[in-house]
């Protein structure tokens, strides 16, 4: 080998050695990446939660527009909400044979009454609800295939059944539906409102079906499931979304349904604006 060739070979080898990473340098880079991931993951999770929340709100708005169109075509009379006399949460679109259910069927989801105006069943779904089912309550919800409720994620205000919407004041303060834990129709007094946002008695608590029912803490966490900040059994620090009769959507922070003096809040008026119950 000539001296020139030897010189070129040594220069090439030296260059390769100079550009290679040492094991320590690689470990340092990996450690930095791990630290960055630890910092970024909570932020990314919050972004995902916010995206689910926004998707749920958008779906509720679409349902609200369907409700408005239904009222315009039906002399502003709300449909019969079919308040389910059987031991059933009424969350199904089809029977066991795959046939579409009628709105009056005890098993039927309340959204069937508006389906001609909303068109797509998936609009009654909520991304945060699906995530909750998969991660927390997959084995708790009604038995059978939990995916049956993926497109029936909103609870409805049954107090509005067959009401004349034209006679109701302040539509912006009347609940049509919300992304509650259960997709059932809510109505009634006494124990009938145990799933509702208001407390029927001074000093009581709302949603007592969950707070005072054995083993229902995981279910409760599905109610105020948006933007949760607490890991407590009956405290999430989160919110739920409400669809109002004028079709706008807002969020409601977690609440016990009573004010600082233990008195019921105005939530009952949000359900029963004509005070018929």
pLDDT in tens, 85-140: 665 667 889 988 989 998 888 888 899 999 999 989 999 999 998 888 887 766 65
Confirm whether 240 is domain-assigned.
yes
Q: Report how far residue 37's alpha carbon sits from residue 40's, in angstroms, rounded to the nearest whole number.
A: 5
Q: For residue 242, report the phi and psi dihedrals to the nearest 5 degrees.
A: -120, 135
Share of the chain above pLDDT 70, in %: 78
Q: Is the pLDDT score of 22 beyond 70?
A: yes
Query: Are residues 177 and 148 in contact, defined by beta-carbon separation less than 8 angstroms?
Result: no
> What is the pLDDT confidence band of residue 190, given thresholds at 50, 70 and 90?
low
Confirm whether 143 is domain-assigned.
yes
Confirm whether 31 is domain-assigned.
no
Confirm whether 153 is domain-assigned.
yes
Short-list 253, 246, 251, 264, CA closest to 230: 253
Q: Which residues of 255-265 are buried (b: 16+ CB within 10 A; e: fewer)?
A: bbbbeeeeebb
Q: Report how far residue 147's alpha carbon sits from residue 141's, in angstroms, rounded to the nearest whole number.
A: 10
- Tally of CB atoms within 10 A around 129: 25
pTM for the full model? Answer: 0.81
The domain containing residue 173 runs over which residues? Answer: 55-271
Taking only the tens place, the pLDDT of each residue in 115-124 is: 999 989 999 9
Q: For residue 258, report the phi and psi dihedrals to the nearest 5 degrees.
A: -130, 160
Number of domains in the chain: 1
Confirm whether 35 is domain-assigned.
no
Point out which residues pair with 156 in neighbouring strands: 177, 185
Short-list 249, 256, 248, 270, CA closest to 220: 256
Tokens of 210: 């969950």
The pLDDT of 218-230, averaged and rounded, is 88
Helix axes 127-135, 23-73, angle to 10 degrees: 120
């Amino acid at each position: 080998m000539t001296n020139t060739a030897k010189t070129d070979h040594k220069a090439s080898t030296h260059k390769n050695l100079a550009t290679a990473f040492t094991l320590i340098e690689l470990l340092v880079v990996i450690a930095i990446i791990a630290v960055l991931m630890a910092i970024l993951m909570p932020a990314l999770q919050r972004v995902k939660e916010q995206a689910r929340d926004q998707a749920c709100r958008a779906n509720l708005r679409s349902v609200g527009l369907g409700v408005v169109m239904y009222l315009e075509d039906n002399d502003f009379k709300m449909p019969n909400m079919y308040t389910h006399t059987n031991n059933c949460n009424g969350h199904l679109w089809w029977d066991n044979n795959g046939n579409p259910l009628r709105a009056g069927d005890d098993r039927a989801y309340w959204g069937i009454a508006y389906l001609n105006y909303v068109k797509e069943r998936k609009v009654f779904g909520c991304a945060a609800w699906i995530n909750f089912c998969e991660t927390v309550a997959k084995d708790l919800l009604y038995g059978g295939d939990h995916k049956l409720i993926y497109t029936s994620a909103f609870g409805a205000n049954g107090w509005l059944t067959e009401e004349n919407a034209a006679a109701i004041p302040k539509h912006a303060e009347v609940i049509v539906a919300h992304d509650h834990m259960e997709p059932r129709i809510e109505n009634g007094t006494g124990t009938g409102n145990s799933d509702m946002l208001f407390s029927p008695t001074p000093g009581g608590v709302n949603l007592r079906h969950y707070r005072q029912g054995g083993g229902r803490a995981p279910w409760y966490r599905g109610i105020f499931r948006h933007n949760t900040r607490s890991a407590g059994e009956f405290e999430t620090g989160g919110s739920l979304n409400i669809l109002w009769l004028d079709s706008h959507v807002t969020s409601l922070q977690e609440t016990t349904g009573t004010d600082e003096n233990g008195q019921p809040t105005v939530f009952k008026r949000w359900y029963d604006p004509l005070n018929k119950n």
